[in-house]
Structure 1
């Protein structure tokens, strides 16, 4: 390794990640870190964990938390029909082990604080298959066993909002530096971005401090709607970055008296927010993209990958559209595709093939919402493509015309999606019965909680008319 490469590696390690526990001791001592956030993403992608003094982190005891953290709904409830007590009848502890590659600072804390993402194991040391990080690892092992490496690049949309502490009131765009909220559509507008210059500077600064590799930030179509693009790379590493970026963005927005939300559809009059996932596959032996042949044309493998997405994403919709609100994104004649057609450089279909060189040929899955857990969303899209390859599923004909007015294949409600999810044997074989049964129970419980709430529409149109 030459000196420049050594310096580059040292610079990266100085920001994010170390190799082992001894390197972690040095890293934390050099920065005078007193406290560490030991975190793990739960089913919803919420950061769970414990904060502890640095000396306790190195004391040798294993971090434990109850298994029920992976059976919580987004509201903090527990489903009765979740089968978790079948596996953990006393809600026993799980063991958590740090992934030192994720060690980084928490730049918004006033005292020197670090954070590190943990992996989840049972008490006997085996990986706990319900934990989202392990779910993604299991899917990527399928690729590794074939001699392949997957490459992904997420694009995550979000809204900035005026603070609102009363859930009965609709959400509104925030006030920018001009003193006025946005009202019209501002796709790719630089002046609209400039309305939030100070916040955007903080987003970049906080992200850079954690080694989050932001490629671009643009203004999207909605009022105060933005999109962040992350550089392509390893699926697990990119899922970690999306997970950390969501925390970072919320903290940055609060500094400026705003909310940042990844809800799929926060305002009825505005477009929804997506998490588009670009994906390709590299043969590790040759380092070539297996989606292109020697002549630069798409391969059978590429078509089968697309066929797998078309075949299995309907049953995986509860993962990429995990809440009742998620299905409000799927609207005809909108910028959010509500179908699973595919085509070259066609943003009106759910599966877009971007213009690229043969070496960079990829498929963009435009179905996931930004509310999806990034670990599970990436696992879902890669699992669907893998099944398509193994079963040699042919896609339908690519579309070179507008299809935004067509709804095809995608379940229109969470209940329909869960029914398809829990009954698909191929999905159960990939994700495991324990994960499928637990996830199913959580989604059904969340739907029941939603059904207990009376909406403004019901009060508006039923109160005096029926």
Structure 2
């Protein structure tokens, strides 16, 4: 690789999915590109309000402001803009072992477990976000409330008749993605006023999640450049929420293992079984914040039941089975505020659990999966943060595939988030509280 001439922005995500990092000179980057760069372990010990999260056992590497090493993945090094490169990295402890909570390390570990079975995964994502006319400074001054949707105040879906400012924003975003080499497939108007959906092309899990976090950063920077603002909150207004659907297929020697000429392929069937078995626990990961659970309304888009069905978009897992290339599972649970790496890790963990245990799925839901009565035998998705963390805490499969240290940490961090909301001004009976807007609008 040629000698570095640009400053370099070192990038990673914390457990809440926020893009963090520091910018270093070319000389500094050269000195640490192999050994890594020091980051305080506090990044895995504080919440979005910069308060220490208490309530779980701090491991020997975390909690005393020790330094952990962020080692850059040089395969991710790109020119972000003239004079500035960016690179994504992973966190390691002093003894050289991976930090168990590091989001990228978790994805890498699960991809390796698939590889041991001769399998590779391909994942795509549908990113939803809401755009507002106001600049970020204006949005802050208004407490992120009562903002003006970009492109018009009415909502529908697939509408082309958006105003030119909305279209100009999306064209600027996709031009930036093209320049960075991030492959996208489509963008469209979504249901809520100002809302958009941007689809990233399928690729391997690590590349996809890297592209996902960078795309969110691009969307924020373009909004700033154009004097607008964008948010990935799960529900930024009292109207529609927004999600991040993941589409997964598994290959062996290049052949799609989810295709069986219109039948349910065994690997797909067991993958669905694993996802159903872990869905309640995975809810805590897929819906990480207080606002995440405000999306769970019947008839509003997101799934509300632990269910699956062939081509059934009202279920939490949709199976597409009739095409040798495009047969896949659509995991519809995650909100737009999810940590991309944790979302992929939870998905892969459920799939691996199903494959290893040959778990059979429950009966397919062939009708609408919303509003099913109790006699249907289909459980509801945990609809509060506390129900979800309890389900994760008790899930032996997710503990096996994600690790006890991660599960214990995550449960404690969500319990802390719940306590912060209920003791510092959150209103559980409001369609959307001011506390949530201030906490999540910029950092979700």
Query: Fold conserved (TM > 0.5)?
Result: yes
Distance 1:97 1:344, change over 3 A: same
Per the normalisation by structure 1, the TM-score is 0.85
Distance 1:162 1:197, change over 3 A: closer
Corresponding residue number in structure 1 for 2:72: 98
Corresponding residue number in structure 2 for 1:78: 52
Among candidates 267, 274, 291, match of residue 243 of structure 2 = 274
Corresponding residue number in structure 2 for 1:291: 258
Alignment check: 8 A CA contact 2:264 2:321 kept: no
Alignment check: 8 A CA contact 1:106 1:113 kept: yes
| Bigger mean CA offset, 305-314 vs 80-89 | 80-89
Distance 1:169 1:229, change over 3 A: closer
Alignment check: 8 A CA contact 1:136 1:376 kept: yes
CA RMSD of aligned residues (A): 2.1
Shift of 1:86: 4.6
Are 1:50 and 2:4 an aligned pair?
no
Shift of 1:171: 3.8
Shift of 1:82: 3.0
Shift of 1:117: 0.4
Corresponding residue number in structure 1 for 2:145: 170
Aligned length: 420
Deviations 1:336-363 (A, max 9, x none): 2211211122211111123641332111
Alignment check: 8 A CA contact 2:132 2:229 kept: yes
Summarize the alignment of residues 329-344 of structure 1 with structure 2, pairs less than 5 Å apart.
329-344=295-310
Corresponding residue number in structure 2 for 1:11: none
Alignment check: 8 A CA contact 1:308 1:389 kept: yes
Are 1:379 and 2:351 an aligned pair?
no
- Partner-residue secondary structure (3-state), 1:343: strand
- Partner-residue secondary structure (3-state), 1:375: helix
Are 1:38 and 2:10 an aligned pair?
yes
Question: How far apart in 2 are the matches of 1:450 and 1:167?
Answer: 20
Shift of 1:126: 1.3
| Bigger mean CA offset, 416-425 vs 235-244 | 416-425
Among candidates 153, 162, 165, match of residue 182 of structure 1 = 153
Deviations 1:322-380 (A, max 9, x none): 01100011101222221121112221111112364133211101000010001000110
Are 1:388 and 2:388 an aligned pair?
no
Question: How far apart in 1 are the matches of 2:170 and 2:75?
Answer: 27
Alignment check: 8 A CA contact 2:399 2:407 kept: yes
Deviations 1:138-163 (A, max 9, x none): 11111011111011111111101243
Alignment check: 8 A CA contact 1:334 1:404 kept: no
Are 1:159 and 2:125 an aligned pair?
no
Shift of 1:173: 3.4
- Partner-residue secondary structure (3-state), 2:31: coil
Unmatched tracts of structure 1, length 5 or more: 1-22, 461-466
Corresponding residue number in structure 2 for 1:212: 182
Deviations 1:242-291 (A, max 9, x none): 010111101111222221111111111x21111100001111xx321222
| Bigger mean CA offset, 433-442 vs 222-231 | 433-442
Deviations 1:167-195 (A, max 9, x none): 6563433344xxxx322x22001112645
Question: How far apart in 2 are the matches of 1:210 and 1:71?
Answer: 32
- Partner-residue secondary structure (3-state), 1:59: helix
Shift of 1:298: 2.1
Summarize the alignment of residues 310-459 of structure 1 with structure 2, pairs less than 5 Å apart.
310-354=276-320, 356-406=322-372, 408-455=379-426
Deviations 1:225-249 (A, max 9, x none): 1001011010010000001011110
Unmatched tracts of structure 2, length 5 or more: 373-377, 432-444
List structure 1 runs of 4+ shifted beyond 6 angstroms: 456-460
Corresponding residue number in structure 2 for 1:128: 99
Question: How far apart in 1 are the matches of 2:62 and 2:123?
Answer: 35
Per the normalisation by structure 2, the TM-score is 0.89
Deviations 1:30-85 (A, max 9, x none): xxx2x110111111111222211112111246311111212221222221213225
Corresponding residue number in structure 2 for 1:259: 229
Alignment check: 8 A CA contact 2:45 2:63 kept: no
